Structure 1
Amino acid sequence: MTTGIVLGADMEKSAMQTSALSPSHKPNNTSNTGMPWWDARKTLVLLSFLGLTVAYMVRVCLSITIVAIVKRNATIDISDNDTCPVPDGAIEDTEAGGDYEWDGQTQAILLGAFFYGYTVSNFPGGRVAEYFGPRLTVGLGILLPSFLTLLSPLCIYTSPVLFIVLRVLEGLTQGVTFPAMHFMMSAWIPPKDKAKYWSLQGSGMQIGTVVAMSVGGWLCSTTFLGGWPSVFYVFGGLGVIWAIPWFLLIHDLPEHHPRISDAELQYILEHRHYVKRDKVVAIPWRHIATSQPFWAIMASSFCYNFSFYTLLTELPTYFNKILHFDMSTNGLSSALPYIVQCLAAVSWGMFVDILQKRNVLSVKTVRKLSTSLALYSSAACLIGMMWVNCDPIVAMVVMCLAVGLIGPIGSGSPLSEQDIAPNLAGTLKGLTNTLGSATGFVAPAVTGAITSGNQTVSAWNTVFVISAVFNLIFGTIYVIFGTDKVQPWNDSKPKKVSVSVITKKT
């Protein structure tokens, strides 16, 4: 007789994946040496950087184009001593701007619509990446919203409601990207290398913002493809093009990469007890819900994202309404703080990487030092905005510091999910980023409630102070309770599956 074993779907998947754990299971065409000056991780980091750049261009483009789309008189401003005077030589035209009379509430809904969808898909995105692989999840998470962005002008011409629905769909499809990218990083990048590689990879967020603000502002002031519609066409098109090399060159795991060198693969495998194991782990909900380190990450994620999205979505409006910058100047001014942030993030990541390799700083110290430096210094600068009044130069300097000094956080709390539970990095990032992403629509709503019909210096000072207070309070929670120690529940057993033995008579 013949005996056959039928495995449940999860067990079969686990068995197939487990075979990849050994270097001997690399594809036969694997190069033994590779290029000495370039390795598979550099390709991953480069394309991830470009992917985040495109993702943020798509995300941020409305923040700059809305100034050109909406009529200037759609929001009624208060004219009193609490407003800034129009600079000499500037043209004050209350009818300037676009053709659409969207009031302050409509604008706030539009600016936050992306994050309604984005918030919903973060947690499912992390889990989807753990089951179906981060390569596919990240690729579609950038390709699909880029394609939808191409439809933005048509939706705007048709109805603001249709455009709101489109922005929600863009956020829904892009929300899977960050959890999946962190999940992939936990498999490819050992813990002590994360600060350096993520500072480079994550700088795509700042570069994307810079391009969206500066190039977007310039495109709005031209007649190319109709002015502001060109922003959506160009940025969306770049995202579609990016997907081609991503799907051709990127692989879920180093063991699956056909061109990785033996030396690089061995280096990664030597840190395997810290790196994402090649299996799907059941979610230990009770342990997560009672974990102090997890809630410390949640606190940091909330305050960092609230501050970040407040400035990301509202900075062009502040420069336009309060400091009276024109369209071209507004784009460049809105981009400058993110140039500073990018430089701060990369330089700080390289700096702490050197100190880690010399055993001067531990991973835990790097995480807490990076987070506290970013949140506390940014809070101080935001509070300092109360004393700049209407001086555009001083306002630009302080705002560049407020946004720029938050850059070091890229080496801090945003990496902590990978530290405490690498097997669940996608799931945890999905949970923390869900809360953080919710601030993407909460922050514009709060700002809109404070400044709608009240475009005054004191109103905007209130907006800045709220972000600063959040940074101080919730940043302190992370500093006290955050850790880099892998939690016991990281090693939860895979889901149980049924195994049936079938006996066949011969």
Structure 2
Amino acid sequence: MTAIKELKHGDEKVKDAGWGYRHQQCVILFWVLTVAYSMRSCMGVSLVAMTDDNIDQGNSTEGFKVNGVLNALMLVPPYPKFNWDKKIQDTMIASFFWGYMLLQIPAGQLAHRFGARYLLTGAMTINCLMSILLPMATYYGGWYCTVVCRVAQGLTQACIVPGLHTSLGKWAPLHERGRLAAMVYGGQALGTVFGLPMTGFISASPMGWPGIFRFYGIMSGMAAVLIWFLVYDTPAQHPKISAAEREYIEDDLGASEGKKKMPVPWKKILRHKGVYAIIVAHIGQAWGHTALYSEVPAFMDKIMGVNIKANGLLTALPFLVMWFTNFFFSWFTDWLIVKNIMSVTNTRKLANSLGMVPAGIGLIALAFAPRNIYVVETILILICAFKISAHSGFQVNHIDISPNYAGTMMSISNFVSNIVASFSPIIIGFILTDVSDKSLWGQAFFLTAALYLVANLVYVIFGTSEKADWNDPEEEEDIEENVPMMDKPEKNDKTNQ
């Protein structure tokens, strides 16, 4: 039987059902996000193994002769090589995000209407098929078919984050919300840490570059099976959950089993100031995250003289540290709430500030840092170590405001933030007219730092964690219907005019 502990929260005692099926849910969702982010980041490294500048433009037959069925299916070497120019390669990388952006907001609606289980199972299944078929599609259909496969993967992966947030909205009680969300979203950091080295290892093995996509396809398929058999939309639907754990979750969030799926209150959501505070904070975080991924490696190469791709430790260490500090900040914020040291709203604002302010200061320090790899790497580690704290700030805030519509709200903020962040490489590219000029890099870092600091300031001023009155409109209607007639004001009463 699940152990029950009691935590003191203000004047009330909170039952903690201990380790339970809500944690199992989060472990599986963590695996899903890890696989998704590994798959998302593998294309850049895969292109290194797929291309060869010494063959004719677009030619894929040189050094590759079909010899039997296994060779035709690209299950045994040799494997074809391609001479794609930079524009084609960039198109193939960007095509994923075309699909990803297109389905963001509809994905939130799908998660709300059909539940996270069906949505995530379908997303990972399609990712599995597209990834396994991609090598043959590339060889027999050219880079156009590769783009089609990546767009399809982007469309389905657009469903993942809204699906995760929808699930957390049904399974994460307030007093554990930071830790459970950190458990799930830690997959963003760990997926990158494992994805890049694993991609390089597979491409250098006898499996070759086709093995990269088959590996991630198998991982996606395994994730789909786990979701289908072990993930449930609500505690009430789980066949093995204890009564104590179900009561613990539902007492905090409210039971949702048997309730009619209510339409999304779009007008009320879009009028809520807290939603806009989250969107602004999400923009700052997404822009900074994009800049760190896309521009810092070039800075290390052009200014520091370090080949970041050849040094796996330098690439992985900041994100590995970020994964570990993720658990500290999530525990710390939950502790502040449980011990009633700070209100939920102020705790979210503190966590967001601990993430964005040090990141902004760190980028300013990076602009003035000497050309010393130890100094620069230390600054990058500190930026990543603190940056993750914002996940216990704005990123959990959707669930605070409305557990029932958390996935929809996340789809909105994720869509807007990624649209803005997609311009980060373009704008920084206009600034970096000379990539060997350290002062120009300083301007790019100043811009990103300013966005971090301004976004956090907006969130601190306008952010809120108060549960919205439109979170459960059905309950509001029931309350109104149960009010005795004598207590309802008469519309025609002259004294009220």
Instruction: Show the counterpart of 2:488.
Output: none
How far apart are residue 282 of structure 1 and its match?
2.1
Matched, 1:224 2:206: yes
1:66-465 to 2 correspondence within 5 Å? 66-67=47-48, 69=50, 100-103=83-86, 105-157=87-139, 159-220=142-203, 222-226=204-208, 228-273=209-254, 278-320=259-301, 322-326=303-307, 329-439=310-420, 441-451=422-432, 454=435, 456-465=437-446
How far apart are residue 475 of structure 1 and its match?
1.6
More displaced stretch, 274-283 vs 335-344: 274-283
Contact map agreement 1:419 1:485 (CA 8 A) in 2: yes
Contact map agreement 1:275 1:422 (CA 8 A) in 2: no
Write the letter of the residue equivalent to 1:40: Y
Write the letter of the residue equivalent to 1:193: E
More displaced stretch, 126-135 vs 356-365: 356-365
CA distance in 2, matches of 1:43, 1:187: 14
CA distance in 2, matches of 1:277, 1:354: 33
Contact map agreement 1:417 1:429 (CA 8 A) in 2: yes
How far apart are residue 329 of structure 1 and its match?
3.1
Q: Which has the higher contact order (CA 8 A, sep 6+)?
A: 1
**Shift in alpha-carbon separation, 1:307–1:100, aligned structure 2, 3 A:** farther
CA distance in 2, matches of 1:455, 1:481: 40
How far apart are residue 340 of structure 1 and its match?
1.3
CA distance in 1, matches of 2:154, 2:443: 28
Write the letter of the residue equivalent to 2:317: L
More displaced stretch, 56-65 vs 365-374: 56-65
Instruction: Show the counterpart of 1:6.
Output: none
**Shift in alpha-carbon separation, 1:181–1:112, aligned structure 2, 3 A:** same
Give TM-score scaled by structure 2 length: 0.80
How far apart are residue 289 of structure 1 and its match?
2.4
CA distance in 2, matches of 1:149, 1:465: 39
Write the letter of the residue equivalent to 1:144: I
Write the letter of the residue equivalent to 1:225: M
RMSD: 3.0
CA distance in 2, matches of 1:146, 1:458: 45
**Shift in alpha-carbon separation, 1:108–1:457, aligned structure 2, 3 A:** farther
Instruction: Show the counterpart of 1:28.
Output: none
Write the letter of the residue equivalent to 2:159: V
How far apart are residue 463 of structure 1 and its match?
3.3
**1:215 aligns to what SS in structure 2?**
helix
**Shift in alpha-carbon separation, 1:170–1:379, aligned structure 2, 3 A:** same
**Shift in alpha-carbon separation, 1:125–1:467, aligned structure 2, 3 A:** same
More displaced stretch, 308-317 vs 320-329: 320-329
**2:400 aligns to what SS in structure 1?**
helix
CA distance in 2, matches of 1:188, 1:238: 25
More displaced stretch, 268-277 vs 194-203: 268-277
CA distance in 2, matches of 1:463, 1:289: 32
Instruction: Show the counterpart of 1:481.
Output: 462
- CA offset digits 1:275-301 (Å, max 9, x no partner): 899442222232222221111111011
Write the letter of the residue equivalent to 2:419: A
Contact map agreement 2:130 2:153 (CA 8 A) in 1: yes
Write the letter of the residue equivalent to 1:209: T
Gaps of 5+ in 2: 5-16, 55-80, 478-497
How far apart are residue 156 of structure 1 and its match?
4.9
CA distance in 1, matches of 2:22, 2:306: 42
Contact map agreement 1:217 1:331 (CA 8 A) in 2: no
- CA offset digits 1:122-143 (Å, max 9, x no partner): 2111111111111111222233
Write the letter of the residue equivalent to 1:257: H
- CA offset digits 1:20-55 (Å, max 9, x no partner): xxxxxxxxxxxx759997421111011011111101
Write the letter of the residue equivalent to 2:109: R
More displaced stretch, 113-122 vs 450-459: 450-459
More displaced stretch, 140-149 vs 118-127: 140-149
**2:470 aligns to what SS in structure 1?**
helix
Write the letter of the residue equivalent to 1:372: S
Instruction: Show the counterpart of 2:71.
Output: none
Instruction: Show the counterpart of 1:8.
Output: none
Contact map agreement 2:2 2:18 (CA 8 A) in 1: no
**Shift in alpha-carbon separation, 1:319–1:175, aligned structure 2, 3 A:** same
- CA offset digits 1:458-488 (Å, max 9, x no partner): 4444433322111111221111100000122
**Shift in alpha-carbon separation, 1:309–1:287, aligned structure 2, 3 A:** same
Instruction: Show the counterpart of 1:62.
Output: 43
How far apart are residue 349 of structure 1 and its match?
0.8
Q: Percent identity?
A: 28
How far apart are residue 234 of structure 1 and its match?
2.0
Instruction: Show the counterpart of 2:483.
Output: none
Contact map agreement 2:401 2:465 (CA 8 A) in 1: yes
Instruction: Show the counterpart of 2:448.
Output: 467
Write the letter of the residue equivalent to 1:418: I
Contact map agreement 2:349 2:463 (CA 8 A) in 1: yes
How far apart are residue 448 of structure 1 and its match?
4.5
Give TM-score scaled by structure 1 length: 0.78
How far apart are residue 401 of structure 1 and its match?
1.9
**Shift in alpha-carbon separation, 1:214–1:395, aligned structure 2, 3 A:** farther
Contact map agreement 1:364 1:484 (CA 8 A) in 2: yes
* Number of equivalenced pairs: 437
Write the letter of the residue equivalent to 2:200: G
Contact map agreement 2:435 2:441 (CA 8 A) in 1: no
**Shift in alpha-carbon separation, 1:348–1:46, aligned structure 2, 3 A:** same
How far apart are residue 425 of structure 1 and its match?
1.2
**1:360 aligns to what SS in structure 2?**
coil
CA distance in 2, matches of 1:50, 1:441: 26
**1:489 aligns to what SS in structure 2?**
coil
Contact map agreement 1:118 1:437 (CA 8 A) in 2: no
